[in-house]
Chain A
Amino acid sequence: MSTARPAARAPLALLVPAAAGLVFLLLPLAALLLRAPWAALPAQLGSPRVWEALRLSLLTATAATALCLVLGVPLAWVLARTDFPGRRLVRALVTLPLVLPPVVGGVALLLALGRDGLVGRLLDDWLGVTLPFTTAGVVVAEAFVAMPFLVISVEGTLRAADPRFEEAAATLGASRFTAFRRVTLPLIAPGVAAGAVLAWARALGEFGATITFAGNFPGRTQTMPLAVYLALQSDPAAAVALSLVLLAVSVAVLGAMRDRWTTGVGAA
């Protein structure tokens, strides 16, 4: 915080586009707030469908983040700390869902994990499990698009962290996994937390892969973004109301988590 310089020193050539960028980002949000049907809002929010969608959104985004943590942190460690042929290619492939249109991601998930998909067929035959049209399918779709955010964030933190701590632990007789668990993980906790927040936010807003892979059924797979999109087709005012709820929840949760983490890291 102490490194911030007075604004007067900033050159105009940077300040003007910076201000324009800020306006560009905030204007649509301001329009949403200004044009919101405030009078009709209580009636809109009284609908059980809104709360059903919100509950499902929070549940699936949190579960998707957990899945991302379990699979993504080890993946980031392998990418940052080991060297193997084709590592750069693997790293590029990991980030692919970032640039893939989410709808394409949803189709790809269907081809892989759908009832007739490469792996999905086996899941169906052996376990009788099909993911599409289920809440678990929503979690899978959200984790697919959110995981790269976590992996990139954690990998960056790992690269910045000094590997000598791990090496020291190893010379003291710790196994590599113990060193990871007892030394590395606490060291990179802020990066993991930041990555988890990013992944959670991305999962909360996920639309394309979810509606393509998991379909749309109230209470089972209809998350808030899906409810907003479908409301937009018939009742734009309801869509704005739903968007406001989603916006308020994300701001509140992200704000609360940030505070806790920054103080937590400071205390550690």
Chain B
Amino acid sequence: MRRGRRWAGAALTAAVVLSGCGTQEAEPTVTVFAAASLKESFGTLGEKFEDEHPGTNVEFSFGGSDTLAAGITGGAPADVFAAADEATMARVTQAGEASGRPEAFARNRLAIVTLPGNPHGVRSLGDLARPELKVVLCDVSVPCGAAARTVLSTARVRVRPASYEQDVKSALTKVRLKEADAALVYATDVKAAGDAVTGVEFPEADTATNSYPITVLKNAPQPERAAEFVEFVRSAQGRRVLREAGFLEPGPGAR
């Protein structure tokens, strides 16, 4: 009896707290769906944006671009979508969910990630073909895997991977846990992992860079503020944060 009452009290408190959040119309929230690789840089950008726009909140949902795109076409109430490649963004624009044309704001390229200190002396892309190395790649169904396949086939390097990982962070994790000796991940992932790994850049990476597009969504609950956020990401300040995270400037073709 007593316990039941306590539960009821807790439920009531929760209801009050939740409804309180819902009725705070004074503080508009911009909801941003962004690719997992943007977690660090967009987190910083969100805080800066909130500082410059007092009274506006930015909320992020980070995840695989595929998953986010599926959420948007399925009716998730988001304001902005930033994808890790153009193919995924195309799914959203083809469904008529984008407001206007998506704009490229950054590019990312692959890098080799090795154990800390690079004990196996991996110097080039060709070294990944060495039989004594355990190498993991992303599966070709995800953007980093498609880029890895392009880079390796252009350079005519035949890698026999131990595994095709389901996303870039899993590939990175296998090296962080010392399960694999090397992996092909994004340059930004190497940077975000800090001292836990050592990165090796290679010139062939330029043959397959991913362009990151961003757009305001058609059914955005906060369209004006969403547009301001997109503008902020593409501003000089936004680009500096992205560059510090290891991203490249958007391609020359980008507007």
Residues of A within 8 A of B (CB): 107, 110-111, 114-116, 132-133, 211-212, 214-218, 221, 229-231, 233-235
6 A-B pairs, CB-CB below 8 angstroms?
A132-B162, A212-B170, A214-B163, A215-B162, A215-B165, A233-B64
CB distance from A186 to the nearest CB of B (A): 43
Give 8 nearest A-B pairs by CB, closest first.
A215-B163, A116-B178, A234-B141, A133-B162, A233-B141, A216-B164, A132-B179, A114-B179
Would A110 and B163 be within 8 Å (CB), given that A233-B66, A233-B142 are in contact?
no
Interface presence of B134 (CB below 8 A)? yes
User: In the complex the two chains form, is A115's CB within 8 Å of B66's CB?
Assistant: no
Question: Which residues B158-187 have CB closer than 8 A to chain A?
Answer: 161-166, 170, 174, 177-180
Question: Which residues B136-173 have CB closer than 8 A to chain A?
Answer: 136, 139-142, 161-166, 170
Main secondary structure of the interface of A (DSSP, over half): loop
CB distance from B19 to the nearest CB of A (A): 28
4 further A-B pairs in the complex, CB-CB below 8 A; given A230-B139, A231-B141: A115-B179, A217-B162, A233-B141, A234-B140
Look across to chain B and name the residue whose beta carbon is closest to the beta carbon of A134: B162
By a CB distance below 8 angstroms, the chain B residues around A233 are 64, 66, 139, 141-142, 166
Question: Which residues B1-54 have CB closer than 8 A to chain A?
Answer: none
User: In the complex the two chains form, is A216's CB within 8 Å of B178's CB?
Assistant: no
CB distance from B251 to the nearest CB of A (A): 24
Interface residues on B, range: 20 to 34
User: In the complex the two chains form, is B161's CB within 8 Å of A114's CB?
Assistant: no
User: In the complex the two chains form, is B179's CB within 8 Å of A216's CB?
Assistant: no
User: In the complex the two chains form, is B134's CB within 8 Å of A133's CB?
Assistant: yes
Partner of B136 from A115, A215, A235 at Cβ < 8 Å = A215
User: In the complex the two chains form, is A217's CB within 8 Å of B177's CB?
Assistant: no
By a CB distance below 8 angstroms, the chain A residues around B162 are 132-133, 215, 217
User: In the complex the two chains form, is A230's CB within 8 Å of B163's CB?
Assistant: no
User: In the complex the two chains form, is A116's CB within 8 Å of B163's CB?
Assistant: no
Whole-angstrom distance between the alpha carbons of A217 and B178 in the complex?
A: 18
Partner of A115 from B64, B161, B178 at Cβ < 8 Å = B178
By a CB distance below 8 angstroms, the chain A residues around B174 are 132, 215
By a CB distance below 8 angstroms, the chain A residues around B180 are 133
Q: Which of A115, A218, A221, A233 has the most CB of B within 10 A?
A: A233
Would A216 and B141 be within 8 Å (CB), given that A116-B178, A132-B179 are in contact?
no
CB distance from A141 to the nearest CB of B (A): 13
Q: Which of B64, B140, B162, B174 has the most CB of A within 10 A?
A: B162
Look across to chain B and name the residue whose beta carbon is closest to the beta carbon of A111: B177
By a CB distance below 8 angstroms, the chain B residues around A216 are 139, 163-166
By a CB distance below 8 angstroms, the chain A residues around B178 are 114-116
Whole-angstrom distance between the alpha carbons of A115 and B178 in the complex?
A: 7
Partner of B166 from A107, A115, A211, A214 at Cβ < 8 Å = A211
Whole-angstrom distance between the alpha carbons of A213 and B154 in the complex?
A: 31
Whole-angstrom distance between the alpha carbons of A211 and B161 in the complex?
A: 15
Whole-angstrom distance between the alpha carbons of A87 and B139 in the complex?
A: 44
By a CB distance below 8 angstroms, the chain B residues around A235 are 141
By a CB distance below 8 angstroms, the chain B residues around A221 are 163
User: In the complex the two chains form, is B177's CB within 8 Å of A116's CB?
Assistant: yes
CB distance from B4 to the nearest CB of A (A): 20
Look across to chain B and name the residue whose beta carbon is closest to the beta carbon of A110: B177
